[in-house]
């Protein structure tokens, strides 16, 4: 990762992840589930997806774990509200993966801002409130019948 310019890495990683998660994962998880349950499973898988990064020496996630296991836990927790926000944005934009890439890449790009970990914990709390508001204000989407296919690729 040290050989790739940060903006390219942040948005490139988001592009690769979202092509997989939205291009295949989110739709395949839906099945007969509600959008809420599918997003919850998606968030859990996405959190697990990041776990190996905690064991790569000097990687961002590894430094979080070494600084404090609570900061590493905060990262894992933050994935859940982010998943609800990203999936909602993706759906509301007719399945446009670029919307998910933009949100995900912007979240990744925050690493350049050098925000303190206490601020990141506050950010997680804000994301939880936003995600809860989204779910509660769009109950029909999250808990109702879901169409078999969403939008388009880009």
Residue 119 is encoded by which pair of tokens? 């601020």
Separation CA 68–CA 85 (nearest Å): 26
Give residue 32's Cα distance to chain centre: 22
Residue 112 is encoded by which pair of tokens? 């350049």
Given 17, 18, 61, 104, the catalytic residue: 17
> Catalytic site residue 50?
yes
CA 96 → CA 20, 26, 43, distances in Å? 13, 12, 19
Count of CB atoms within 10 A of residue 24's CB?
A: 10
Angle, to 10 degrees, between the axis of helix 60-67 and the axis of helix 69-92?
140
> Catalytic site residue 17?
yes
Q: Is the dihedral of CA 48, 52, 53, 58 positive or negative?
A: positive
Please give the positions annotated as active site: 17, 50
């Amino acid at each position: 990762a040290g050989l790739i310019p940060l903006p390219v890495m942040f948005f490139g990683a988001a592009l690769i992840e979202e092509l997989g998660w939205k291009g295949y994962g989110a739709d395949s998880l839906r099945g007969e589930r509600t959008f809420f349950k599918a997003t919850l499973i998606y968030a859990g898988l996405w959190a697990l997806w990041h776990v190996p990064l905690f064991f790569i020496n000097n990687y961002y996630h590894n430094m979080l774990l070494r600084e404090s296991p609570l900061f590493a836990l905060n990262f894992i927790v933050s994935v859940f509200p982010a998943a609800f926000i990203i999936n909602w944005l993706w759906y509301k934009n007719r399945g446009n993966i670029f919307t998910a890439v933009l949100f995900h890449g912007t979240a990744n790009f925050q690493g350049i801002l050098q925000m303190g970990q206490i601020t990141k914990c506050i950010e997680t709390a804000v994301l939880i409130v936003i995600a809860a508001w989204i779910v509660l204000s769009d109950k029909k989407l999250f808990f109702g019948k879901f169409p078999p296919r969403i939008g388009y690729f880009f």
